[in-house]
């Protein structure tokens, strides 16, 4: 029903906006709750056991994170008498809130729900979960100052490594995208303390690249690497572009995805954190391996050619192709 859909999407936007606009912890918590409650019906709209299971897992993790956040902010108000987001000073609630927000966006080691949940959703809702749902917690992470840098660096490094290792043996595209999301978020958290503007740049480029990847898979109607192998017959033009999109996600020059990684490594080196930068760069190689694997499955394997398979791409829907074209171009050539 379009009315219900419009209401849910409005709730989704409202929750994020409330969190953005708030300077009081209770309001921020309320925005996160509205956000979670709005996306849950969208996740369960296909009454498939797997979708329902994914929705339940998502609800439980998000409720846990929100409860932790509320507990930490109340504790902070009790210890310091401050409800203001930027006035957090006590280390205990600060640490707790950082962990709660890490659970919200799925940073390692609190990441295990993300691949499971994403695997149960259709690609459109998966796209919303991978992009829009990350905005509100990130706004809060950017606003809290004087967090212990060790926590953020540990979370970030763990995420880049887990995102690299986890994606290696996956054949399901949505799980690969989930691990890729974990790795990208790890890069953003690594640099959060030293240069928040770089975090925002990385977030923005990640959004553009994820958007085009999800749209491509949606147009191809493919959810596993095996389904990608026959995409040459379905959409020839796309198939020649997707490896570039995937390699951009992996962070190869001269594509867009290289830019944030380059700047982040440069900033980490400036902060005398060369070992950390080296580890992060090496973990990017892990991610690169599975992006290359998908590219290989798509473009370098010949599928049996049949005429019925060739027809769909000629009649593809215009409301998908324009955003796809814009996103793909941006993913390839924004550097």
Sequential pLDDT tens for the chain (335 residues): 899 999 999 999 999 999 999 999 999 999 999 999 999 999 999 889 999 999 999 999 999 999 999 999 999 999 999 999 998 889 999 999 999 999 999 999 999 999 999 999 999 999 999 999 999 999 999 999 889 999 999 999 999 999 999 999 999 999 999 999 999 999 999 999 999 999 999 999 999 999 999 999 998 888 998 888 777 777 777 788 889 999 999 999 999 999 999 999 999 999 999 999 999 999 999 999 999 999 888 887 766 655 555 555 555 667 788 888 899 999 999 98
Distance, first Cα to last Cα, the chain: 41
Total-model pTM = 0.94
* HSE-up (13 A, CA, CB side) for residue 300: 7
Query: CB of 219 within 8 A of CB of 207?
Result: no
What is the per-residue pLDDT for 305? 59
Q: Which residue has the tokens 């609190």?
A: 110
In angstroms, the CA 65 to CA 313 distance is 42
Query: CB of 221 within 8 A of CB of 283?
Result: no
Q: Which residue has the tokens 């691949």?
A: 115
What is the per-residue pLDDT for 313? 53
Query: CB of 101 within 8 A of CB of 69?
Result: yes
What is the per-residue pLDDT for 322? 87
Query: How distant, in Å, are the alpha carbons of 235, 276, 320 from that of 312?
Result: 8, 47, 14
CA 145 to chain centroid, in Å, comes to 23
What is the per-residue pLDDT for 199? 97
Greatest distance between any 2 Cα atoms in the chain:
71
User: b/e per residue, 212-247, with b = 16+ CB within 10 A?
Assistant: bbbbbbbbbebbebebbbbbbbbbeebbebbbbbbb
What is the per-residue pLDDT for 220? 83
**How many Cβ atoms sit within 10 Å of the Cβ of residue 335?**
13
What is the per-residue pLDDT for 298? 83
H or E element in which residue 84 lies: none
What is the per-residue pLDDT for 308? 54
Omega within 30 of 0 (cis) for the link into 254 = yes
User: b/e per residue, 262-298, with b = 16+ CB within 10 A?
Assistant: ebbbebbeeeebeebbebbeebbebbbebbebbbebb
Minimal CA–CA distance to 103: which of 135, 72, 65?
65
What is the per-residue pLDDT for 235? 75
How open is the CA angle 165-168-170, to the nearest 5 degrees? Answer: 125
């Amino acid at each position: 029903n379009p009315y219900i859909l419009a209401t849910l999407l409005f709730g989704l936007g409202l929750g994020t906006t409330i969190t953005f606009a708030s300077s009081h912890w209770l309001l921020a918590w309320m925005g996160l709750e509205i956000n979670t409650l709005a996306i849950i019906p969208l996740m369960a709209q296909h009454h498939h056991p797997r979708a329902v299971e994914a929705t339940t897992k998502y609800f439980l993790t998000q409720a846990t994170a929100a409860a932790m956040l509320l507990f930490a902010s109340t504790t902070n108000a009790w210890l310091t008498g401050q409800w203001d987001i930027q006035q957090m000073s006590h280390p205990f609630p600060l640490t707790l809130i950082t962990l709660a927000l890490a659970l919200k966006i799925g940073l390692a080691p609190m990441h295990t729900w993300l691949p499971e949940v994403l695997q149960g959703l259709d690609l459109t809702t998966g796209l919303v979960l991978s992009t829009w749902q990350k905005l509100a917690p990130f706004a809060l992470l950017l606003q809290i100052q004087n967090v212990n840098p060790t926590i953020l660096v540990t979370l970030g490094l763990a995420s880049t490594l887990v995102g690299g290792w986890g994606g290696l043996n996956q054949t399901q595209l949505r799980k690969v995208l989930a691990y890729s999301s974990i790795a990208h978020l790890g890069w953003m958290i690594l640099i959060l303390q030293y240069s928040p503007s770089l975090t925002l740049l990385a977030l923005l480029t990640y959004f553009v690249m994820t958007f085009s990847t999800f749209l491509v898979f949606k147009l191809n109607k493919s959810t596993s690497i095996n389904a990608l192998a026959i995409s040459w017959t379905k959409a020839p033009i796309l198939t020649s572009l997707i490896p570039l999109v995937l390699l951009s996600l992996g962070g190869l020059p001269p594509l867009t995805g290289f830019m944030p990684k380059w700047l982040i490594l440069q900033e980490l080196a400036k902060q005398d954190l060369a070992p950390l930068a080296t580890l992060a760069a090496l973990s990017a190689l892990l991610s690169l391996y599975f992006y290359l694997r998908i590219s290989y499955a798509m473009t370098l394997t010949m599928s049996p050619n049949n005429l019925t398979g060739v027809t769909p791409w000629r009649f593809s829907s215009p409301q998908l192709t324009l955003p796809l074209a814009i996103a793909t171009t941006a993913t390839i050539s924004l550097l």
